[in-house]
């Protein structure tokens, strides 16, 4: 049986897809890269922007004929759009067999089996935020974590680990609290056990995931575990070389967490802390719960405690009522904070959010587009200048695999897997999350090597592996090569 799965959206969705694939493999499925020869086609969807939803509805439209010709194919919609649109998906695409919200993904294998046995269309979603007590709603958004599938990870050396689900912040533009349910933290013992298992499978870097990952709190007897405690426990796991966590909520960037990032060598000196806007009025309309002054203070504290730390951010441009003057305040914030990079989005109204209810989406699209370009150009200028400062420096790089260019070249040549010894353009990341590209050897993938940077642009550092002069005519690699 062949499974095709397409994933849209954030890292949380990538992890969910990994877990769904692992559970379907137990039922005998293998992955295929094409929907045409798949017995089951799944879309793991995102609802954060209209564009992401439109993409899925068009993909479903393209499958109408395939389903008519092969009625045995199972077509399923999973994730946030499934939770948000529920039965509407059956109305818009009646040939869809399965709708499963993010809190019910553990049911996917059973539901697919039932459909195959002639059980007809099936839908499993969690309770909406107003349809029960907090406890009932929490229970209906079950986390789905134990099964892992190395083949679905970004690389075999990196893995996402979910430490919490849901969100209680209710920013006015955001649909996440409705579709992912209340904020719930996983027990630390489960997270440590899962990370240990990943380390035993050869994983070197774990990326802890949560919508507001630094709001992590788990009560155990008299003790409340915070993210800083969790980082300290994960730091002890042998084999794990690097720990990252995304995404942070600015107000929860507490001193104990900054101290943990500063003092634990395996924790990346990189923080993703979305600011969203540089205007207090816009932040208030977004109900972000902090002011620009709070955000500036947090950044100043972070940089004072950890000189050289890299911080990245998210921004929404063209939020309801955003004036040119308010947008310029965002430009000022970006100039001042010098983010490593920023993810910039045009505001997209989401039905079901407070923003859609309270404020008209009144910034014209061409203004949103112009602000997007302007902010991106400023950010790129800053990223390029700050990356140039790395030229001539030696950085430690955890090597992830072939570079995108090398992968493209291999695909174009229809090449088989690279020879284990041949030279290959590789990519990896520094401790502060900067992408580095250099010529290496496939055996080095998964290792940490010193790289000397000789060039840079806004997105990438270019380097070569550092060698040491260890004798009159002898140069050696500073880290001995090991076979993978
Ligand atoms: S903090 Fe705000 S933007 Fe982030 S997931 Fe929660 S509601 Fe959405």
Q: What's the 338 CA to ligand 1 centre distance in angstroms? A: 23
State which ligand 1 atom lies nearest to the alpha carbon of 249.
Answer: 1
**What's the average model confidence in pLDDT over 436-444?**
94
Q: Which two tokens stand for residue 283?
A: 């932040």
Q: What's the 225 CA to ligand 1 centre distance in angstroms? A: 22
Query: What pLDDT was estimated at residue 440?
Result: 94
Q: Is there an atom of ligand 1 within 6 Å of 249 CB?
A: yes
| Spatial separation of the C-alpha atoms in residues 325 and 62, rounded to whole Å | 44
Pocket test for ligand 1, best of 164, 167, 253, 284 (most atoms within 8 A of CB): 167
Q: Is there an atom of ligand 1 within 6 Å of 12 CB?
A: no
Q: Is there an atom of ligand 1 within 6 Å of 211 CB?
A: yes
| Cβ atoms of residues 335 and 306 within 8 Å | no
pLDDT in tens, 399-431: 999 998 888 887 777 655 555 567 899 999 999
Residue 146 has pLDDT above 70, yes or no: no
pLDDT in tens, 232-255: 999 999 999 999 999 999 999 999
Residues of the chain above pLDDT 90, percent: 85
Q: How far is CA 282 from CA 26, 91, 327, 439, in A?
A: 48, 37, 9, 46
Q: What is the dihedral of CA 370, 376, 379, 380, to 10 degrees?
A: -130
Residue 148 has pLDDT above 80, yes or no: no
Q: Determine if the peptide bond prior to 247 is cis (ω within 30°).
A: yes
Instruction: Taking each helix axis as running N to C, give the angle between helix 255-263 and helix 227-235, from 0 to 180 degrees, rounded to the nearest 10.
Output: 20
pLDDT band, very low/low/confident/very high, at 482 (cuts 50, 70, 90):
very low
Q: Is there an atom of ligand 1 within 6 Å of 45 CB?
A: no
| Cβ atoms of residues 314 and 275 within 8 Å | yes
Residue 480 has pLDDT above 50, yes or no: no
pLDDT in tens, 2-39: 999 999 999 999 999 999 999 999 999 999 999 999 99
**Which residue's CA lies nearest to atom 2 of ligand 1?**
171
**Which residue's CA lies nearest to atom 1 of ligand 1?**
169
Query: What pLDDT was estimated at residue 407?
Result: 83
Please give the model's pTM, rounded to 2 decimal places.
0.91
Residue 468 has pLDDT above 90, yes or no: no
pLDDT in tens, 452-465: 999 999 999 999 99
Instruction: Taking each helix axis as running N to C, give the angle between helix 11-25 and helix 108-116, from 0 to 180 degrees, rounded to the nearest 10.
Output: 50
Q: Is there an atom of ligand 1 within 6 Å of 165 CB?
A: no
94: left (phi over 0), alpha (psi -120 to 50) or beta: alpha
Q: Is there an atom of ligand 1 within 6 Å of 251 CB?
A: no
Q: What's the 288 CA to ligand 1 centre distance in angstroms? A: 8
Residue 476 has pLDDT above 70, yes or no: no
Query: What pLDDT was estimated at residue 419?
Result: 57
Q: Is there an atom of ligand 1 within 6 Å of 214 CB?
A: no
Q: What's the 63 CA to ligand 1 centre distance in angstroms? A: 33
**What's the average model confidence in pLDDT over 96-102?**
97
Q: Is there an atom of ligand 1 within 6 Å of 176 CB?
A: yes
Query: What pLDDT was estimated at residue 142?
Result: 75
> Between 64 and 468, whose confidence is greater?
64
Q: How many CB atoms lie within 10 A of CB 159?
A: 26
Residue 474 has pLDDT above 70, yes or no: no
Residue 449 has pLDDT above 80, yes or no: yes
Residue 227 has pLDDT above 60, yes or no: yes
Residue 68 has pLDDT above 60, yes or no: yes
Closest CA to 121 of 137, 98, 104: 98
CA 127 to the chain's CA centroid = 25
Q: Is there an atom of ligand 1 within 6 Å of 174 CB?
A: yes
Residue 467 has pLDDT above 90, yes or no: no
Query: What pLDDT was estimated at residue 156?
Result: 85
């Amino acid at each position: 049986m062949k499974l095709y799965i397409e994933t849209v959206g954030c890292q949380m969705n990538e992890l969910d897809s990994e877990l769904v694939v692992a559970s379907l493999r137990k039922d005998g499925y293998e992955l295929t890269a094409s929907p045409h020869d798949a017995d089951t086609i799944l879309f793991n969807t995102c609802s954060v922007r209209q564009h992401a939803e439109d993409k899925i509805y068009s993909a479903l439209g393209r499958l109408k004929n395939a389903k008519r010709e092969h009625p045995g194919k199972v077509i399923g919609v999973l994730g946030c759009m499934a939770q948000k649109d529920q039965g509407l998906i059956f109305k818009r695409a009646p040939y869809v067999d399965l709708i499963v919200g993010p809190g019910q993904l553990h049911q996917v294998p059973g539901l697919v089996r039932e459909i195959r046995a002639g059980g007809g269309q099936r839908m499993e979603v969690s309770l909406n935020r107003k349809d029960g007590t907090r406890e009932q709603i929490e229970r209906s958004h079950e986390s789905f974590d134990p099964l892992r599938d190395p083949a679905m990870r970004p690389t075999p050396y990196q893995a996402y680990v979910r430490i919490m689900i849901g969100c209680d912040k209710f920013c006015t533009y955001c649909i996440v609290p409705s579709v992912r349910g209340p904020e719930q933290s996983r027990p630390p013992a489960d997270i440590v056990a899962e990370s240990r298992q990943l380390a035993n499978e050869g994983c070197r870097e774990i990326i802890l995931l949560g919508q507001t990952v630094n709001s992590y709190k788990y009560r155990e007897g008299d003790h409340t575990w915070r993210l800083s405690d969790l980082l300290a426990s994960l730091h002890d796991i042998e084999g794990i070389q690097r720990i990252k966590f995304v995404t942070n909520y600015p107000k929860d960037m507490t001193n104990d967490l900054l101290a943990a990032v500063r003092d634990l060598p395996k924790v990346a000196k990189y923080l993703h802390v979305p600011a969203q806007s540089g205007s207090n009025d816009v932040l208030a309309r977004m109900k972000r719960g902090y002011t620009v002054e709070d955000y500036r203070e947090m950044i100043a504290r972070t940089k004072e405690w950890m000189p050289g730390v890299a911080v990245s951010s998210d921004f929404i441009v063209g939020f309801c009522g955003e004036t040119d003057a308010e947008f310029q305040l965002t430009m000022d914030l970006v100039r001042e904070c010098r983010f490593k990079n920023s993810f910039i989005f045009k505001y997209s109204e989401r039905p079901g959010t407070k923003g859609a209810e309270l404020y008209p989406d009144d910034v014209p699209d061409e203004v949103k587009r112009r602000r997007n370009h302007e902010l991106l150009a400023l950010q790129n200028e800053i990223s390029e200048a700050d990356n140039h400062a790395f030229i001539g420096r030696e950085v430690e790089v955890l090597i992830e695999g072939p570079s995108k260019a090398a992968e493209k070249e291999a695909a174009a040549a229809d090449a088989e897997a690279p020879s284990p010894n041949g030279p290959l353009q590789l990519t990896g990341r520094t401790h502060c999350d900067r992408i580095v590209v250099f010529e290496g050897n496939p055996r080095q993938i998964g290792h940490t090597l010193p790289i000397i940077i000789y060039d840079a642009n806004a997105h990438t550092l270019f380097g070569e592996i550092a060698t040491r002069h260890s004798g009159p005519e002898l140069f050696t690699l500073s880290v001995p090569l090991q076979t993978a």
